[in-house]
Amino acid sequence: MNQYFVYILTNKSNKVLYIGVTNNLERRMYEHRNKMVDGFTKRYNLTKLVHFEETSDVRSAIEREKQLKNWHRDWKIKLIDKFNAEWKDLSVRGNSVIFKK
């Protein structure tokens, strides 16, 4: 069964939000953390995973990504607060990275 993830990243100060979609969240987090792709996330040091949703349908994942990207910032913040009120990095447990290669 295929897995697709819509995810939200931020920086240490939680000032900038980025929404993406991937079929491999572990690999994608590794790429973000290691600045492997030039662009927005590299420029703003977005490496903190604060929200993600999973689906088995790629079309649903892409639609959800588009939907979230069109939301007002305060709606995105409320979504994150609902599931991750402390804005913890969901890819880290204790001092170790859960997703690593």
Q: Which of helix, strand or coil describes residue 9?
A: strand
Q: Name residue, tokens 């890819």.
A: 91
In what order do the strands lie in the sheet containing 17-22?
A: 17-22, 4-10, 48-55
- Position 1 scores a pLDDT of 79
Q: Which domains does the chain have, with CATH numbers?
A: 4-97 (3.40.1440.10)
Q: Is the dihedral of CA 57, 51, 69, 43 positive or negative?
A: negative
Instruction: Please give the model's pTM, rounded to 2 decimal places.
Output: 0.92
Assigned token pair, 86: 């402390």
- Position 4 scores a pLDDT of 97
Give which of 25, 18, 28, 30 is closest to 2, Cα–Cα: 25
Q: Name residue, tokens 């995105």.
A: 76
Chain segment 3-47, per-residue pLDDT in tens: 999 999 999 999 999 999 999 999 999 999 999 989 999 999 999
